[in-house]
A and B are shown apart, each in its own frame.
Chain A
């Protein structure tokens, strides 16, 4: 009998311990022991770090932020895991493809009322602090990805992303090159650079492998979409349209000519930056928020400069980006005011004028100006922004996570490497897009 009692007690203790371990614990409590409001924050932006969060907590002593960083390559996995266990963070970073999916699933808080209220500093309406085109860019993402809605304000842009070519002026001088103003001049430069034994061009990392075709489409498809009013949604434009195919063919041509690095498909941001800093890569298509490593580690022999990639079809060269980094608030947050306060701080003048890591970024705010000394180096980004932004969902390869991933991870590499034909690639893209449209209905 004694044996039985002991065994029952042992078993009960073990099961109890096991179940206790499965509980949600105190991690999700919205108040800390000392009465502070606790919010959870998930970011995939390298620019947002512990120092920035500390500065926020210092200014807002009644709020404690549980900060979690995940690199953008693993963001989708992390977010899905959190969302499936009903643990969506109070504030989180997101991006076009995910953003629309998250809105459609009802995971995001409509912040339009907050946007019409005061900004972080309390000296203006929050909405009015953003560059108007940037906010419109973000709203257009929601409109095209989610259809007609009562509100398009489910997040705010963090920095104004622009894309420009960074190059080493010293290398240009050595090779007798000048900044190209036309596409032909750009290609002639690439040829000269290649003949001199350098790699002519790359994009900042393999996660941006779709940048070049999207820039080409902005040129080749602009008239059809913006002048003639054709759209993918009503089927007047398809991935088999001549202009769409031309963009992909041009990309393949650049790859086949050997203008892109051999490790283009697998090169991450660090590898590309090192290649550039070692002088092996002559030009890199990069966004300002990824410049810090290059700017801080460039050798004295290097003289950095930036220019806008010339339009391949002779049209004004618009830039990719705009509102490509978004901060949003969870629809289920228990502390919407504190969560919004953090988002307001992140995109505030206070943050952009005090945080050292943000000095190379374009804030996207009307009341913040960048250090004039940097403007000379980063002139290409200003010029890119002046021409306006290519709509995020121009050719809809970023409209959903599924099509975005298939395009970037599977179809582009296989197409460039000659494993998939242009016809097969465009057919598959169209199939995925059609499924997306069916699901949307």
Chain B
């Protein structure tokens, strides 16, 4: 009797949910068409030797995965991606926070600076890449010219054409681009800080540094974690700026994971290893995202 009741309840529930299922059908269709089918196709390609056109004929099994995992350039690109992420996390969030704090403290022409500092974020990555490519140019670029003007001509160099400087030059540009976003988010969050806490601390004689250390920074920690997650997921997809500035060169010195995949697929026409690398990259990205979510949750629980 109880079983029949339960069954009837379930059926009733399903019946009531039909409109909801129908309404989410387009979303599921979009996911299937634009995510699952391409993914299945990509996985299939990763098992073949394939030039990007023609039939899939040459089945090689997991060889492409082995090839990628044995390729030094893959690890170099992997390392470069994490160097970019590490520098972005450290410098971009820190500088973004400092700028936000300065704006919070109040300066002359605050509105102007607020807008002006945000401008780099509004420019497209490709345009930024083109601009900075000119800035770094060893002969016509303003950076070397300025260095020479101020007597530091010995530091002038072909920034994007050397193994040792190509990646750092890209990282500097990348950080320059991401600071405004971090600054804006930090600024929005500092503004939510209860004023009475700061006033109470001030009345109790807390110095500016103490207020920053004991009130503002603890208040900002959840924001920093969120910015950290956004930075990691965004930087793992870094491509356009890197491609415009160096195409991963010279000789792969500034390759990141995405440019590694792109050049393998579309320049060398090695679609098999390229899709294998992109699937490995996807697994890594999912792993990192899960890890960050766990860390965030653990952080949240500790704060409670």
Contact = CB atoms under 8 A, between A and B. Distances in A.
Interface of A: 3-4, 7-8, 10-11, 14-15, 18, 22, 73-74, 76-77, 79-81, 83-84, 88, 101, 105-107, 261-267, 271, 274-275, 278, 280, 401-402, 405-406, 409-414, 417, 419-420, 439
Interface stretch (B97-105, B160-168, B172-180): B160-168
Contacts of B22: 4, 7-8, 10-11
Nearest to A412: B251
Most buried by B among A101, A261, A265, A409: A265
A401 B54 CA distance: 15
Contact of A80 (B33, B53, B137, B160): B53
Interface string B152-166: 000001101111000
6 contacts: A10-B22, A22-B33, A74-B266, A107-B54, A262-B139, A266-B247
Most buried by A among B25, B73, B247, B268: B268
Nearest to A82: B53
Interface in B124-141: 137-140
Contacts of B137: 263, 271
B138 A18 contact: no
A10 B19 CA distance: 10
Most buried by A among B29, B158, B251: B251
Nearest to B26: A14
A275 B268 contact: no
Contact of B29 (A15, A275, A414): A15
Given A7-B19, A15-B25, A409 B267 contact: yes
Nearest to B166: A266
Nearest to B245: A266
A268 B262 CA distance: 20
Listed from nearest, the 6 A-B pairs whose CB atoms lie closest are A83-B53, A80-B52, A413-B251, A77-B266, A414-B251, A262-B158
Contacts of B268: 401-402, 405-406, 409
A18 B26 contact: yes
Contacts of A406: 268
A46 to B, nearest CB: 18
If over half of A's interface residues share one DSSP class (helix, strand or loop), that class is named, otherwise mixed; here it is helix
Nearest to B18: A4
B163 A77 contact: no
The range of chain B's interface size is: 35 or more
A332 to B, nearest CB: 12
Contacts of A420: 251
Contacts of B33: 18, 22
Most buried by B among A77, A264, A275: A77
A409 B138 contact: no
Contacts of A411: 251
B53 A265 contact: no
Contacts of A409: 247, 249, 251-252, 263, 267-268
If over half of B's interface residues share one DSSP class (helix, strand or loop), that class is named, otherwise mixed; here it is loop
B278 to A, nearest CB: 15
A101 B18 contact: no
B250 A105 contact: no
B51 interface: yes
Contacts of A414: 250-252
B285 interface: no
A413 B268 CA distance: 16
Contacts of A101: 51, 269
B26 A263 contact: no
B200 interface: no
A94 to B, nearest CB: 12
Most buried by A among B33, B161, B247, B253: B161
B246 interface: yes
Interface string B254-289: 000000001101111111000000000000000000
Contact of B252 (A77, A261, A410): A410
Contacts of B253: 419
Interface in B32-55: 33, 49, 51-54
A401 B269 contact: yes
A108 B161 CA distance: 38
Given A77-B267, A413-B250, 10 more contacts: A7-B23, A22-B33, A77-B265, A81-B52, A105-B53, A262-B138, A263-B137, A278-B140, A401-B267, A401-B269
Nearest to B264: A405
Contacts of A264: 161
A81 B270 CA distance: 13
Nearest to B27: A14
A80 B268 CA distance: 11
Nearest to B271: A80
Contacts of A401: 51, 267-269
B2 interface: no
A92 B23 CA distance: 45
B139 A275 contact: yes
Nearest to B140: A274
B231 to A, nearest CB: 27
A348 to B, nearest CB: 30
A406 B158 CA distance: 23
Interface in B215-257: 246-247, 249-253
B140 A275 contact: yes
A271 B138 CA distance: 11
Nearest to B49: A439
B109 interface: no
Contact of B265 (A80, A265, A412, A417): A80
